[in-house]
Chain A
Amino acid sequence: MDLTMIMVALVILTLSAVLSYKFHALGLIGAVIALLIGLNTCSSFTYGIFVFAIGIINLLSLSALKSDIQGVDYGLVGLMALATMYIFNTSDFALVLAALVLVSVPTYILVMLREGGTNVEVGIKYITFMVLATVLFLIGAIILVYTKNAFNGFLYVLGYVMLVLGLCLEIGVAPLHEWVPDVFASADPIPISIIASLAKIVPFIAALWILVYTACDMTGSITIFTVVLAVISMFTGNIGALTSKEHARVLAYSTVAGMGYLLTCLVVAAKPEFLYLALTGGLLFLFSNAAGKIGLFNAIKGKGAYSLLTFILAFSFIGVPPLMGFWAKLFILITLAKMQYFWLIGIIVINSVISIPYYIRLANELGVKWEANLTNFICLAAVIITLVTVLFVPVEWFVTNMEAIAHTVGIAL
């Protein structure tokens, strides 16, 4: 049934994309309808509504970009959001990988969009790494799943490393992050805001899903590899952002740092009983990161946004309670505490401190007076997302939902 509805949504997306050559608005309408269908089929409404909100804001922000394929771009974003919503509906390995590809491929086109032409150079840079990332991820995943059925320690380690390397390349974890600063700084801020927000969710969930699914006795020892990469990424990202001037570059490095925090969640694979904590932390992090990146990239595009909004987004990035960014980091830290990674907690805290100056600087430089324009409305929508945890305190409702999801995953395993 789910799959049928998704097929219907895909058909609507395709048709509206085709028709949008004639009528631009149709692309947007089609994407919104597809997202509504996606939300309706999504197994977790809490998760779905966040993805839906992020997808809608991404769609709206696209209207600020007068690209050559306006209309079709809505369809691409709709497709990404749809795949993101679907990821928790399936426990089918092939469909999980399909979702990953469905989220990844549209970004190849989106990254090249700009007003009055295409940004081919950025596109090539981006696509080269994405292809490599997808290949590594897929091969790693296949090897891991193979070891699940016929265990082989050597293959497990190889598969694990390839999958994690693929993920790192995909989301931009140091030292495989070289594409991130250049692409973020040279491409148009609007598509980048999509790549930095919506496109990060599925790779994370897919990787976590596969790692938990294929976990074995060796998982506990091999996670150190992930942790080392996470630490390198945090320091590289934060120091890079701290010493960068260009706004887009600061955000690029902050993404590198942020993906380092996120990567630490993967350590939970060794103890799936804490999966719900890692999911809570990881997803809240992805949502708050998405809201922040959308807001600030749109502020770059719109030559500034209302300063109150930019500061709230910056505070959420830093992790000031009770904004969503705080809860995200808190749950990541709780997960790490449960996993006995206390030194890593210390490193995350130090990195959070390092990040304070550049986020404040960014908020200050991008902050302007209030004006009723699209940028501010998008920023406002992003701020509302980060404030959800303030309106519905405590965040137990989210944790409960994640427990349910973790439970479902557990049954699937």
Chain B
Amino acid sequence: MNDWMFFLLLFLTPVVSSVPIVFAYKNEGWTEKLPYLSVFGIFVSVLMSLHILFAMEGQYSYPWIPELGINFVFMCDYLNSYMGVVTAVIAFFIAIYGLDYMKGDYRPSWYWFCFNLFTASMLLVVYSDNLFLLFVGWEGLGAASWGLIGHWFRDDDNISYVGKAGRKVGPLELSWPPSSGGWRAISTIRFGDVPMFFAIAVIWVLSPTLNISEIEWGTLFVSLGAAGTIILMLCFLLGLFTKSAQFPFSEWLMTAMTGPTTVSALLHSATMVAAGAFVFLKVTWYIEPWHLHDVPGVEQIYTLVLFVGLISGLYGALCGSGLLERKVLLAATTMSSIGLMFAAGAASFWIHHEVAGMNFALLVAFWYMATHAFAKASLFLVSGHLIHATHSRFLCGGFEFGKRFKPAFIVTIIATTFLIGMPPLTAYWIKSGMDEVMEHLYVHEPHIILPIILLVTTSLIYSAVMARFLSLNFIKGDKPEHEHLEGGGLMKLGYGLMVSVLFILLYLIFTNEETEGFVHAGYLSVSLAVGLGALIVYAIALFIPRISIFSRVPGTFFSDRMYLPFLNDYIVPKIGFFIAYIVQEFGNRGIDGFFNTRVIPGIFRAISRGIRAIQTGPLSSYVKIVLGFVMLFIILASIGGISL
């Protein structure tokens, strides 16, 4: 089989396999059976991604518009090959879960097509080396996410809302239906996509190639100068920050929870939000900023990303500590984790340390991304099952409930403990690497202590939030009003498979060459101290998941997400309406007057009258006019001819 066939199957099978269900949307019998075909399509992608991981390496290029430097270029390097497998496998497990979860839904065709398109788009983002091609996948993600988040567009079931109905703060009601969730997502993302596209266009103009691995980044930055580099990268990063819901663009992610849980799981693990951080790592991989210390503007950019990441990390964790909705709590922690990925990736600027020929900071960021993906996807899938079982999107369920709902309980224990950085479980080793990286920023250049402080604080709060999630769902939560524990075999299979990967990752950390650095970092006393701190906080929060004296302040402040919704739903729309007012009053009236009511119609009327006034009928008057013009032109020509 030719190489291009593998790529074709990788990207197209998910999409093609979900086309039949689109055409069968009116036939209930078929829409019950055809999801299996869609899942099979993703399975093919899993096989292809595994083949690429084990059998293909380097760049593969196929012509598209070669004259413009736009081609189908795929890069099968360490980062892309592993991320491809992570994406495909997670999508596949979630799809299996979805077979049960979406049963009886009112528009399965819409769901499965968007779900598979979403997966294919993410795979395109992952493997693309060409920035333009990557942007195609990027936009596919945006469009499909809008379709999936707003899947229950009828807004007819309160269980799919985000926020408490009737909770008002000032002029805003902090409750969002699915249709609003879809809109908030696409509008925020578009806000970043446009500058990102602009940045790609600038690179296209200035660089002979659009292939990430071939662009001479250093030369490009030098030619742009400090200000140019900062503007270019800011535009590019706006796309990544909005997609990855970094502060202050995080609101869409919280209300994206209005979509089906499978969507939340996919969005929050290996796709969509991860896409921004992943593209940052992917680009940094080839920018090699640690070699560009002499190039003006680069340090400022990486410092900005470092702090945006860390602040987002802390913000997400703090909000998570106050949130009471299952999925929204997880969404906040996702934002936090993605922030840490950005921060670790950005730290690569100051880290020269290489393991197996790869930058240590980037390896840390990537491995954290992979571990987080499986752990968080497991937790989301459990949440979905819990929502089905309890008919509530709010945290609830005591120990009795936990005992009766063992698979979900066990998976939650594994996923949370493996994620928080508790020794000696998977994330501990990676987080240790991250601690080492941030410590490096203090001990060596740029000698700033804030990153390590922010990281440790975030890690501890994060631990507490995870413990809180476990405790309030299975140990110390209120008794659920409904209990529906039967069935859901495929759902259990889905999250069971998902969480089991965490063990594989733990095994890989100890056996792979490139992860030796994590193990080494794990034995350092600082890492051990942070890990034990996380463990202690986790244990305390498990037994005291709620602190009543904090429930109003800062609890409410955190659960209202520090009133950031005001930026999204009040301040920005007000600015928008103001611009609309200006445009309407001063722009549209002018345009309307010019084109529609006054100037142009007036000119047309005058010309038309003039034309008709000439057309009087008598030959003599025509002759006069024509001869007049002829004489005029000949006189003018004579004058012109003499002067020439």
On whether A169 and B626 interact (CB within 8 A), knowing A161-B633, A221-B644, A239-B604, the answer reads yes
Interface residue total, chain A, C-beta cutoff 8 A: 34
Judge if B29 is at the interface, Cβ distance under 8 Å: no
Q: Which of B607, B614, B634 contacts A239 (CB 8 A)?
A: B607
Residues of chain A contacted by B623 (CB below 8 angstroms)? 128
Query: Which segment, of B139-147, B188-196, B393-401, B635-643, faces chain A?
Result: B635-643
Q: Which of these, A128, A154, A162, A178, contacts B642 with CB under 8 Å?
A: A154
Out of B608, B630, B638, name the residue touching A240 (CB < 8 Å).
Answer: B608
A136 interface contact, C-beta 8 A: yes
Q: How many residues of chain B have a CB within 8 Å of chain A?
A: 25
B629: Cβ under 8 A from any A Cβ: yes
Which residues does chain A contribute within 8 Å of B607, judged by CB atoms? 235-236, 239
Instruction: Note all chain B residues with C-beta closer than 8 A to A156.
Output: 641
B622 beta carbon closer than 8 Å to chain A:
yes
Q: Which of B611, B634, B641 has the most CB of A within 10 A?
A: B611
Closest to A152 in B: B641
Interface residues of A in 253-309 (CB under 8 A from B): 253
In the complex, which residues of chain A have a beta carbon less than 8 angstroms from the beta carbon of B201?
A: none
Residues on B with beta carbons closer than 8 Å to the beta carbon of A239: 604, 607-608, 611
| B8 in contact (CB, < 8 A) | no
Give the residues in chain A near B619, CB-CB below 8 Å: 124-125, 128
Instruction: Tell me if B625 is interfacial: C-beta within 8 Å of chain A.
Output: yes
B407 to chain A, nearest CB (A): 62
Task: Contacts A157-B641, A178-B626 given; indicate if A162 touches B634 (C-beta within 8 A).
Answer: yes
B615 at the interface (CB under 8 A from A): yes
Q: Return A239 CB to nearest CB of chain B, in Å.
A: 5
Q: Is B489 an interface residue (CB 8 A)?
A: no
| Docked pose: A67 CA to B343 CA in angstroms | 91
Closest to B623 in A: A128
B617 on the interface (CB 8 Å rule)?
yes
Q: Which residues of B contact A235 (CB under 8 A)?
A: 607
Interfacial chain A residues near B637, Cβ < 8 Å: 157-158, 160-162, 225
Residues of A within 8 A of B615 (CB): 178, 181-182
Interface pair B641/A158, CB less than 8 Å apart? yes
Does A204 make an interface contact (CB < 8 A)? no
B634 partner residues in chain A, CB cutoff 8 A: 158, 161-162, 165
List residues of chain B with CB within 8 A of the CB of A154: 638, 641-642, 644
Q: Are A176 and B629 in contact (CB under 8 A)?
A: yes
CA distance A253 to B607 in the complex (A): 13
Please give me the residue from chain B that is nearest to A169 by CB atom.
B626
Contacts of A153 in B (CB 8 A): 641, 644
Say whether A218 faces chain B, with CB atoms less than 8 Å apart: yes
| Across-interface contacts of A124 in B (CB, < 8 A) | 619
- Within 8 Å CB of B612, what residues of A? 240, 243
Question: Do the beta carbons of B614 and A178 come within 8 Å of each other?
Answer: yes
Tell me whether A344 is interfacial, beta carbon within 8 Å: no
Residue A3, interface by CB 8 Å? no
Q: Interface SS of chain A: helix, strand, loop or mixed? A: helix
Q: Is the CB of A125 within 8 A of B630?
A: no
**In the complex, chain B residues whose CB is within 8 Å of the CB of A243:** 604, 608, 611-612
Asked whether, in the complex, the Cβ of A158 is within 8 Å of the Cβ of B638, the reply is yes
Using CB atoms, name the residue of chain A closest to B622.
A178
Q: What residue of chain B has the Cβ atom nearest to residue A229's Cβ?
A: B633
| Whole-angstrom distance between the Cβ of A4 and the nearest chain B Cβ | 40
Establish whether residues B626 and A132, one from each chain, have CB atoms under 8 Å apart when the complex forms.
yes
Bound complex: CA A409 to CA B636 (Å): 31
Q: A157 near B608 (CB under 8 angstroms)?
A: no
- Across the interface, do B611 and A240 meet the contact criterion of CB distance under 8 Å? yes
Query: Is the C-beta of A146 less than 8 angstroms from some C-beta in chain B?
Result: no
Q: Identify the closest chain A residue to B628 (Cβ).
A: A175
**Inter-chain contacts of B604 with A (CB < 8 A):** 239, 242-243
Bound state CA distance, A158 and B634, in angstroms? 7
> What string of 1s and 0s marks CB contacts (under 8 Å) between B577-611 and chain A?
00000000000000000000000000010011001
Point out the residues of chain B lying under 8 angstroms from A218, CB to CB: 644
Tell whether A155 is near chain B: CB-to-CB under 8 Å. yes
Q: Does A311 contact B (CB under 8 A)?
A: no
Q: How far is the CA of A222 from the CA of B636 in the complex (A)?
A: 12
Q: Is A317 an interface residue (CB 8 A)?
A: no
Within 8 A of B (CB), among A398-412: none
Are A179 and B644 in contact (CB-based, < 8 A)?
A: no
- Could you tell me the distance between the alpha carbons of A179 and B619 in the complex, rounded to whole angstroms? 8
A129 within 8 A of B: yes
Could you mark each residue 167-197 of chain A with 1 if its beta carbon is under 8 Å from any beta carbon of chain B, else 0?
Answer: 0010000011011011000000000000000
Give residues of chain A (111-138) contacting chain B, Cβ–Cβ below 8 Å.
Answer: 124-125, 128-129, 132, 136
- Residues of chain B within 8 A (CB-CB) of A125 are 619, 622
Q: Which residues of A contact B638 (CB under 8 A)?
A: 154, 157-158
Report the minimum CB–CB distance from A164 to chain B (whole Å): 9
A175 touches B608 (CB 8 A): no
Q: How far is the CB of A262 from chain B (nearest CB, A)?
A: 19
Q: Which residues of B contact A179 (CB under 8 A)?
A: 622
Task: Specify the chain A residue showing the minimal Cβ separation from B609.
Answer: A243
Check if B640 sits within 8 Å of A157, measured CB to CB: yes
Contact indicator per residue, chain B 108-123, by CB within 8 Å of chain A (1) or not (0): 0000000000000000
How far does the Cβ of A248 sit from chain B's closest Cβ, in whole Å? 13
Nearest Cβ on chain A to B615's Cβ, whole angstroms? 6
A223 → B minimal CB distance (Å): 13
Q: Give chain B nearest CB distance to A82 CB in angstroms.
A: 30
How far apart are A256's CB and chain B's nearest CB, in angstroms? 9
Can you list, as one digit per residue, whether each of A239-254 has a CB less than 8 Å from chain B (1) or not (0)? 1101100000000010
A347: min CB distance to chain B, Å: 14
- Measured CB to CB, the nearest residue on chain A to B640 is A157
Contact A155 to B641, CB < 8 A, known contacts A125-B619, A182-B617: yes
Q: CB-nearest residue of chain B relative to A178?
A: B622
Tell me the nearest residue of chain B to A218, going by C-beta.
B644
- Which residue in chain A gives the minimum CB-CB distance to B625? A178
Docked Cα-Cα span, A132 to B636, in Å, equals: 19
Q: Are A165 and B633 in contact (CB under 8 A)?
A: yes
Chain B nearest CB: distance from A252 CB in Å? 10
- Binary flags per residue of A84-125, CB closer than 8 Å to B gives 1, else 0: 000000000000000000000000000000000000000011
Given A165-B633, A243-B608: A176 touches B626 (CB 8 Å cut-off): yes
**Smallest Cβ distance from B601 to chain A, in angstroms?**
11
By beta carbon, the residue of chain A nearest B638 is A158
Would you give the shortest CB distance from A187 to chain B, in whole angstroms?
A: 14
Alpha-carbon distance A74/B629, docked complex (angstroms) = 36
Question: Which residue from chain B places its CB closest to the CB of A252 in the assembled complex?
Answer: B615
Q: How far is the CA of A236 from the CA of B603 in the complex (A)?
A: 12
Q: Which of B622, B641, B644 has the most CB of A within 10 A?
A: B641
The verdict on A129 contacting B626 (CB below 8 Å), with A178-B615, A239-B604, A239-B611 known, is yes
* B residues in contact with A169, CB < 8 Å: 626, 630
- Report chain A residues within 8 Å CB of B640: 157, 222
Question: Nearest Cβ distance between residue A253 and chain B, in whole angstroms?
Answer: 8
Complex Cα spacing A225 to B638, Å: 13
List, in ascending order, chain B residues with CB within 8 A of A175's CB: 625, 629
Q: Which residues of A contact B644 (CB under 8 A)?
A: 153-154, 157, 218, 221
Distance, CA A178 to CA B607, complexed state (A)? 15
Looking at the assembled complex, report how far the CB atom of B271 sits from the nearest CB atom of chain A, in whole angstroms. 40
The residues of A that contact B617 with a CB separation of less than 8 Å are 182
Could you say which residues of chain B place their CB within 8 Å of the CB of A236? 607, 611
Chain B residues lying within 8 Å of A161, measured Cβ to Cβ, are 633-634, 636-637
Closest Cβ of chain A: how far from B602's Cβ, in Å?
A: 12
CA distance A160 to B636 in the complex (A): 12
Given contacts A175-B629, A240-B608, 10 further A-B contacts (CB under 8 A): A125-B622, A129-B622, A132-B630, A154-B644, A157-B638, A165-B634, A169-B630, A178-B615, A239-B608, A240-B611
The 3 residue pairs across chains A and B that have the minimum distance between CB atoms: A157-B641, A161-B637, A154-B641
Q: List 7 A-B residue pairs with CB atoms under 8 Å apart, sorted by A's residue number.
A: A157-B638, A158-B634, A158-B637, A175-B625, A176-B626, A178-B622, A240-B611
Q: Which residues of B pack against A, CB within 8 Å?
A: 604, 607-608, 611-612, 614-615, 617, 619, 622-623, 625-627, 629-630, 633-634, 636-638, 640-642, 644
